[in-house]
Every structure is written in C-alpha cells, then in structure tokens.
Amino acid sequence: MFTVTGEGPVFHLYNEFVSLVLAVRTDPEGGYQEVCLTHFGYPIDEPLNTLDRLILENGSSNDSLRQIMPYAFPTEGRGDYRVPLFAEAYEDGGNCTELYYEDYRYAAGKPKLEGLPQTYTEQDDEAETLTIILRDPLTKLKVEASITLFAHRPAIASSMKIVNEGSEKLTLSRAGSLCLALPGHFDMVQLWGSWGKERYVQRVPSATLVRSISSSRGASGHEHNPFAILCDPNADEFSGRCFGVSFVYSGDFEIAVQENAYDQTRLVCGLNPRSLDWPLAPGECFQTPEAVAVYSEQGFNGVSHVYHDLYRTRLCRGYWRDRPRPVLINNWEGTTFYFDHEKIMDIARSAAALGIEMLVLDDGWFGQRNNDHSSLGDWFVNYDKLPRGIKGLAEDVNALGMKFGLWFEPEMISPISELYEAHPDWCLHADGRPRTTARHQLTLDMSRTDVQDFVIESVASMLRSAPIDYVKWDMNRNFSEIGSSVSNRHGLPHRYMLGVYRVMEALIQEFPTVLFEGCSSGGGRFDPGFLYYMPQFWTSDDTDAVERLKIQYGTSFAYPNCTISAHVSASPNHQVGRVTGIKMRGDVALGGNFGYELDLPNQTTDEEKEVIREQVKLVKKIRETTHSGVFTRLLSPFEGNITAWSYADENRVILCAYRVLSTVKRGPVYVRLHDIPQGTYQDQNGKTYTERDLMNAGIKLEFPRQDFASMVTIFEKVK
C-alpha cells in the first residue's frame, strides 16, 4: 500500500509486516529539498512522528546537522562524513554532489532490470514500486531510485538508475543500491569463510566505526557473502528485531555499516567502490544491481524465512524452480581426473541399482586434461578417455534410466591450451606485467563480446551434441592483473559480470530444461545473483559431515534449501581425513540437493550400499518438504556439540539432529521445535503429537553411543 502526503511530500510504502517512510525535507535556509528515510521497520499508521518532524525542520546547510540527517541517498563532499551511497569524480578533480528531490512515480508491480539478476513478480499485485527522481542542480546528474515493496512480505528491493544529463563527463566512484538509516545501535551478523569453510556465522558487536564486508576478487567470494543482518544486541535465532540485507550480484560488492555518536546507524550496500570507476559520458546511464532488505521481529530465523520464500519463488526461475531435484552421483571425489568410459559406467550401473537418478561427469573429459595444468578453453571431447564421446557415454547412462550431467569451467583459460595458443589476448592481463596464474589457469576477459560468444558456443555445441540434462558451472580462481586488450580497466570487474550474465541468460534460454548448478571452488560465488540463472549451487568442496554442519547452517541464513547442494562422500573424508558413518553423512546431506560424490563400486561396502538404497528412498519421499517447506534452525553448531534443524510443510515435519562428540549421559536432552503448522503428527513409532507438543514439550534427542551421531525423525501429519 502507498500514500503520499503533504507538500514535502512524505511517501509511505507499507503492508501488514513493514513500513518504509521517505520524507522530503525542504531546507529552511537553502530552500532545497532532500530525501530522508525516516522509518524502515515495524508497520506504522502515522508516517511521521514528532521526532522525525524536528529533524526534518532543522536547517542542514550547517555540516553538524548534515551529520545527523537520516539521508536516504547520501552523497560525498557536502559535510556528511559518513559512508555515502553515491560519489562522483569530475574532470576538474571535483567530487562534490548534491542530489535534490525532483519528482516521483508510483506503479503496481516491479520493473525489469536489463541484463542483471533480480527478484521478480508474476502478477502486478505482488508488489508496488516507488521511484524517486533526484537531480544535482549543478551537474544535472539524475538518479532514479526504485524501491519495490513486495505484497505480504516484509521485504523491499532497491536499485538506482544514474543518468548523466549534463554536459560534463564524470566517473562514478560509488554507485550504491540501498541505504538504510536506522535509529539505534546494532550487532552485525555476517557470513565469512575461506575455501572449504564457507559462510561461517560471525556476530560483530555494535561499535562506532565502519564495519564492512566486501569482495574485490571478481566474484562474491569465499571470504564474505553479500549478506548481513543488523540486529538488536539481544536478538537470537527466534526473537529480536533484525534487518537483513542481501545484494543480488555475483561480483565485487561492499556492505558498510557506520554508527555515529548520535545513536544512528547507516548501512550502505552496493558495488564495491574499489573496482567501480565507471566513466559516464553525457547522455549515458548506469543501472546498479538490486539489494533486498528484510525486516523481522522473529530473530534470524524470521529473516531467513522471508529470504527463503522470496528467493525460492521469485528469484530462482525456470523449469527446475519448483521441481524436486534429481538425486545424483558425481565422480569427482571418487576418480578425480582418472577415469574412462568403463570406469564411469561402473559407477553409473552401481548407482542406478540403488535408485540414484543422475550421473554427473566432472572435470577431465576434454582437451588433454589429465590434471589441472591444462586444457581449460578446449571444450572438445578427449576420445582417449571416452572413445564413444560424451554422446556415447550419455546414451549409455540414459539406457540405465538415469540422466546425464557434465562439468564445465567456461570462464577460464589454461596457458597450456589450444585456445591460449590461438588467443593469448583473451585473458585478463595488464600489459608489461607477468600473468599471475592460480590453479595453473587464467581468467577469460568476459567483458569482451567475442569471448562471450565463444563461451556460449562452446557450451551450447556440447549441449546440442548429446543428451545432457545438467551442467555444473565452475569458476576456480579470482582476478589478478585486471586489464583487457580491448578496453581500459575502468569498470572492468562489473563489465565482466555483465558478460557472464549475458552468457548464462543465452544458455538458459536455449536450454530451458537443463538443470544448471553453479560452483566456484565449492561455494565461492554462492549469491543471489547466480541463483537467478542457476537454481542451485555447490555449497563447499568440504564434504565432511561435521564440517558441513556449520557450512550448511550458515548458508541457510540467506539461502533456501532448494539452492544448497549437499553430497555424501567417502570416509575417511578427502578434505579433513575424518571417519564418519554413512548414516551421519547421509543425514547431514539429506535436506539439500542430495547426491553422492564417491567411487560407489569401490569405496562402499555391501552394507553401506544397503544404507544408501534406503537414503535414496527417503530423500525421494521427503524432498518436496525439504525443497519448499519452512526450514528452521534450532541448535547451532557454532554454539554447542549438538546441531538441530527442522523442515515443515502441510504434510510433515522433519527433525534433524546431530551430535559431534559422544558424552557421558546425564539425563535426556530435549529440543523444542518452532514454526510448526497446526495439526496432529505421528512419528515412525506411531506416537502422536500436536504442534503444541512439538513446540512446547519438545522432542527427546537420542543418539547412539558414538562420536558423529545423527537422528532424523519424521512426523507425518495425520490430521
């Protein structure tokens, strides 16, 4: 719903869960009009309270007042020293920008952003969009700030279109997507990590300094995820005010939070200014990606529930969005580069016999790729390994009743490759400097249209040549020497990302029923931007069941289960050497896009195969619930020895609990469930419970006497 009142005017976007108020203040001294964000959070009736009015009526030509204005679109250079949303550099060296209110537009629905990932609506009544038009009176720079409020969700999407309507060339050094001005102090929760340790939860207490997370690696990265929560200091998983922020983008980003001495907090989210430097000539326009902000009074789970539902249904797209994902077997951890047609068929036959639905052939099927030193870019079949080609292999796999999937790393080039011999200038490089390799490879310059077209054609011609149902899209290094043969470095990381988005869009349009899965040395580009093109992501190269508890728990803060790929691998585990049982490994993976990652005939005993058969059966039975049900975190692996979470929909509740180390039994441990739909439920032993029993009395956790133990209880709804 939307109201606009007063001469100011004051804009109020609201629904039953959230209100956002943008107030235009006319400066009593200067006469100019600035836009302030006077409220974002709980639903309110009166858009302005007395405090807001006092702030708005003060003159701000004095810099001490500029420092306390809750600006919605703050700029650089005019006495507000906090982190700005926008900053421009002019040819004469100036960097001062003022953005004054000019006009607004309001419309039902959500406009489409060209060439960028985005949340979307299917009907116009699912959202409403307010566009505020701002202008710098001196340079004529125009900003159109679009804020969409989703119906029946405490969520907004915000993005900016910047148009140079002046006569002077300028450079955008900062072009943010969202600014929140919030009264009070907040803890910041963020997801940090490294390779094999993605999205660990970290809570940083309130402090009067800039807390920022970012990437300047060319990908959203393993180190920080483009996601944060600002929360009350006493907020937890179930209660407390929280503001979630998520950036729908896969490259360099920054989320910066700054508190001042006047109990005010500003959050700015957008492209990383370190690598933007975007030249904007007269007449040109720049569209920022969008950021999605969420408000909840039900703690971190409350924030996650909103993102899960929005991203599952209105960010992910296409044929696979609502469909249960096939249980797969991937050969990577089982064979690495050492396989041939027969070896893969042995795995496929063994998998088919256990009910597994798809075989994925990973790295090593192309060029001369027998290790990671060569051949990226040479996307033609290695007939020494696969005499019947990918087509022959895929057909043989299909004959077993299974789908077939294939690995690519399309954005890369090995210096030892036919592609590099033909096009040494196609990689990112800085003239006169050595080319830094990582995993023996360089990055293709995806900002070039000819390179984009080559990548589209390489992947498309393979997909046209054989019955391929799934693609794993990997990206195993970050940028260095960010330069190009055809353009200067300005804005190159963003142009790279736009190139990747163009390529992915072309491929998903041509192959709408292929299931695409993102990957980046595990989960190094697990972000909402990617999920717009590929509805699932390989969560981490660390497949150890104990390590995965933290990785999957943290990932679930922002991302729904239907995007989180989770596989059972061999024991001892490849990455950490830990020995865990097949049950624990299966129970940890079962809620994600489930699969196996081992040499099934040679790395499992007959007994384990029988467990696998039951696991596959169970996953097929419950996967609709784990895909679309409400996922709730109950006990955190970051806080104790026991982790628990649950999935709930109209049919059943699934409680999963894991104990890392065995301890002396000192009385029963109970876990209370949350967010359970009303009804009567029955567990595997025929015992019945109401939703109130599950949420108030809780369930007794019983583990076998051993380390690395798990328990999965399914409560079927009986009425």
What is the nearest approach in angstroms of ligand GLA to the Cβ of residue 524?
8
CA distance linking residue 224 with residue 397, whole number of Å: 39
Q: Chain centroid to CA 126: how far?
A: 22
Return the residue nearest ligand GLA (CB atom): 363
For residue 683, indicate whether it is catalytic.
no
Strand partners, 183: 264
Whether the CB-CB separation of 439 and 433 falls below 8 Å is answered with no
Q: Which is nearer to ligand GLA, 350 or 414 (CB)?
A: 414
H or E segment at 450? helix 449-465
The minimum distance between CB 700 and ligand GLA, in angstroms, equals 38
Binders of ligand GLA in range 129-168 (CB under 6 A): none
Task: Please say which residue, 365 or 658, places its beta carbon nearer to ligand GLA.
Answer: 365
DSSP H stretches of helix in 511-573: 528-531, 545-555
Instruction: Convert residues 501-520 into a mask of x (bound to ligand GLA by CB under 6 A) and - (unbound).
Output: ------------------x-
Amino acid at 31: G
* Nearer CB in complex with ligand GLA: 476/636: 476
Quick check: 481 and 428 in contact, CB under 8 A? yes
The span from the CA of 522 to the CA of 547, in Å, is 13
Given the residues 277, 474, 599, 693, the one annotated as active site: 474
Write down the least CB distance from residue 441 to ligand GLA, Å: 10
Contacts 24+ apart (CB under 8 A), 20-27: 20/147, 20/149, 20/156, 21/47, 21/48, 21/52, 22/72, 22/130, 22/132, 22/147, 23/47, 23/48, 23/52, 23/56, 24/101, 25/55, 25/56, 25/57, 25/60, 25/69, 27/59, 27/60, 27/61
Instruction: Using the CB atoms, write b or e for 48-65: b if 16+ within 10 Å.
Output: beeebeebbeeebeeeeb
DSSP state for residue 697 in the 8-state scheme? I
375 binds ligand GLA (CB under 6 A): no
Per CB under 6 A, the list member of 40, 404, 407, 645 interacting with ligand GLA is 407
Min dist CB 519 to ligand GLA, Å, is 5
Select from 27, 76, 80, 474 the one that contacts ligand GLA (CB under 6 A).
474
Q: Distance between terminal CA atoms of the chain?
A: 37
Q: Cα dist. 200→308, 549, 555, 635 in Å?
A: 18, 10, 8, 15
Q: Annotate each residue in 424-463 with x if it binds ligand GLA (CB under 6 A) or - if it does not, as one string.
A: ----------------------------------------
Active site residue 372: no
User: In 3D, which of 114, 94, 104, 169 has the Cα closest to residue 135?
Assistant: 104
Q: Are 286 and 224 in contact (CB under 8 A)?
A: no
Site string for ligand GLA, 11-30 (x = CB under 6 A): --------------------
Catalytic-labelled residue, pool 252, 541, 544, 587: 541
Q: Which of 275, 375, 521, 604 is in the footprint of ligand GLA by CB under 6 A?
A: 521
| Beta carbon of residue 577, minimum distance to ligand GLA (angstroms, whole number) | 18
CA distance 404 to 386: 15
Closest separation in Å from C-beta 413 to ligand GLA: 15
Q: Which is nearer to ligand GLA, 216 or 521 (CB)?
A: 521
Query: Shortest distance, CB of residue 391 to ligand GLA, whole angstroms?
Result: 22
Binding mask 323-342 for ligand GLA (x = CB under 6 A): ---------x----------
Considering only 19, 350, 476, 480, the residue that binds ligand GLA (CB under 6 A) is 476
Q: Which residue in 538, 645, 658, 703 binds ligand GLA (CB under 6 A)?
A: 538
Total site size for ligand GLA, rule CB under 6 A:
11
475 vs 644 by CB, closer to ligand GLA: 475
Residue with Cβ nearer ligand GLA (242 or 328)? 328
Binding residues for ligand GLA restricted to 348-367, rule: CB under 6 A: 362-363
**Applying CB under 6 A, which of residues 254, 378, 517, 541 lies at the interface with ligand GLA?**
541
Nearer to ligand GLA, 332 or 526 (CB): 332
Binding site residues, ligand GLA, CB under 6 A: 332, 362-363, 407, 474, 476, 519, 521-522, 538, 541
Residues assigned a catalytic role: 474, 541
